[in-house]
Amino acid sequence: MIKNKKVKITIIGSGPSALILASELNNEIFDINIFEKGNSPGRKFLVAGYGGFNLTHSEPPEIFIQKYDPVEFIKPYFNHFNNFDTRKWFENIGIKTFIGSSKRIYPEKGIKPNQVLETILKKIKDNKGIFHFNYEWIDFDENFYPVFLNKNKRIIVESDIVIFALGGGSWKITGSDGKWLDIFKKYNIETLDFEPSNCALKVDWEKDFLDKFEGKPVKNIAVFSDNKYVKGEFVITNTGVEGGVIYAHAGNVRKQLKTNKKAKLFIDLIPIKTKEEIIKLISGFRSNKSRTGSLQKVFNLDDIKIALLKQNTSKQEFYNDEKLAEKIKKLPLNISGMATLDEAISTVGGLSLKAVDKNLKIKKLPFHYAIGEMLDWDAPTGGYLLQASFSMGNFLAHQLNQLK
């Protein structure tokens, strides 16, 4: 580094990963400039805000980290700045948080998403970070300085360090449109096409079923696939199913669809009871009572659960105690597709993990780094997505702050 001269740092993108990075860089070492193609910062962050604003989760870090795929990629960044650090960070800038009944962490009631964003922007301003809006990164020049398009003009920004924080490829309206993928491809940097994650799944419901149950929740169940078993609830929609327990399986469904063109999840209609307990209770049903009525009464199964059960159970199975218990614990849900990329809460694909080293530096570029959802990792909803961006942004700021 050149003595007595500040290092020019160019951050491209203004999502949460960029914002936390810009807040934490040492302004005595760096000139901090943030370039954003839109005309305001953090638009997807605000969308997340108005959708519930689940900043992170309160579970122990050793359990939290297991939610990522691949775990080993996120681990060093998360170990540097974990879910408890995120909570402290927000409290320190004046955003109080609380732990909801789901153990997720949110800004305190009454604090609007805009207020959270404004508070972070104030921290960046105090840290002498400068925003430049309507600057779309479109290429590099011969020195690998970023080239932007601003009001139809090509502008080259001389930089000592460039950090990409360009986001994934869903909710294009927020600016995160993934168009940058082609630029990296042009320079032979490893990329993967975007695919939806954390998205609704398609089910070909019968018309009668939809007439009765569209928009209704299926509560107190668990949904499972391969290695994942997730308790909660989901909602019946006119194209399929959606909700946290569904989103969690998007990765497994994506893999199944690729190999078989169709996919299957399973519903555990009574997670609090084992199959053996259920068989025992069914065998105690009175033979002079309706079996459906007994199921409703003994297991508290509502109309929607009974309808789902009957759709997937032959008459013979329904009247066989063991087979019925099996179906209650492992009811197939046939998935015919996934929501479109743009509808997904997050995406996988983007910049391959092979393209960066452990410090998040892009191996094939001289002074360029990448952070946030633009990299090819996956996580369920529940605060894990934002946490990964906070962890990477904070990690990189602290790594760079050591360059004196």
Ligand X SMILES: Cc1cc2nc3c(=O)[nH]c(=O)nc-3n(C[C@H](O)[C@H](O)[C@H](O)COP(=O)(O)OP(=O)(O)OC[C@H]3O[C@@H](n4cnc5c(N)ncnc54)[C@H](O)[C@@H]3O)c2cc1C
Residues that bind ligand X (CB under 6 A): 12-18, 35-38, 43-45, 47-48, 51-54, 136-137, 165-168, 170-171, 175-176, 180, 345-346, 372-374, 383, 385-386, 389
Q: What separation in angstroms does the CA of 140 have from each of 16, 125, 352?
A: 24, 27, 19
Backbone angles phi, psi at 89, to 5 degrees: -60, -45
Least separation in angstroms between CB 155 and ligand X: 12
Least separation in angstroms between CB 386 and ligand X: 3
Q: Which is nearer to ligand X, 175 or 240 (CB)?
A: 175
DSSP letter for each residue of 267-332: EES-TTS-HHHHHHHHHTS-TTS-HHHHHHHHH---HHHHHHHHHT--HHHHTSHHHHHHHHHSEE
Q: Which is nearer to ligand X, 235 or 298 (CB)?
A: 235
Least separation in angstroms between CB 231 and ligand X: 19
Least separation in angstroms between CB 403 and ligand X: 22
Q: Which is nearer to ligand X, 89 or 137 (CB)?
A: 137
Least separation in angstroms between CB 77 and ligand X: 13
Least separation in angstroms between CB 53 and ligand X: 6
The closest alpha carbon to 141, from 191, 183, 175, belongs to 183
Q: Which is nearer to ligand X, 129 or 383 (CB)?
A: 383
Backbone conformation region of residue 300, classed left if phi is above 0, alpha if psi is from -120 to 50, else beta: left
Answer positive or negative: Cα dihedral of 342, 344, 345, 351.
Answer: negative
Least separation in angstroms between CB 219 and ligand X: 21
Q: Which is nearer to ligand X, 38 or 217 (CB)?
A: 38
Q: Are 104 and 232 in contact (CB under 8 A)?
A: no
Q: Which is nearer to ligand X, 161 or 165 (CB)?
A: 165
Q: Which two tokens stand for residue 382?
A: 């529940």
Q: Are 343 and 61 in contact (CB under 8 A)?
A: no
> Which 3 state secondary structure label does DSSP give 214?
coil
> Which 3 state secondary structure label does DSSP give 6?
coil
Q: Which is nearer to ligand X, 163 or 269 (CB)?
A: 163
Q: Which is nearer to ligand X, 16 or 240 (CB)?
A: 16
Least separation in angstroms between CB 358 and ligand X: 19
Least separation in angstroms between CB 380 and ligand X: 9
Nearest-angstrom CA–CA distance, 380 and 227: 14
Q: Which is nearer to ligand X, 89 or 171 (CB)?
A: 171
Least separation in angstroms between CB 1 and ligand X: 26
Nearest-angstrom CA–CA distance, 175 and 38: 6
Cβ contacts of residue 111 below 8 Å, gap of 6+?
95, 96
Nearest-angstrom CA–CA distance, 364 and 124: 30
- Secondary structure E strands in 144-187: 146-150, 153-156, 161-164
Q: Are 398 and 29 in contact (CB under 8 A)?
A: no
Nearest-angstrom CA–CA distance, 79 and 192: 26
Q: Which is nearer to ligand X, 175 or 301 (CB)?
A: 175
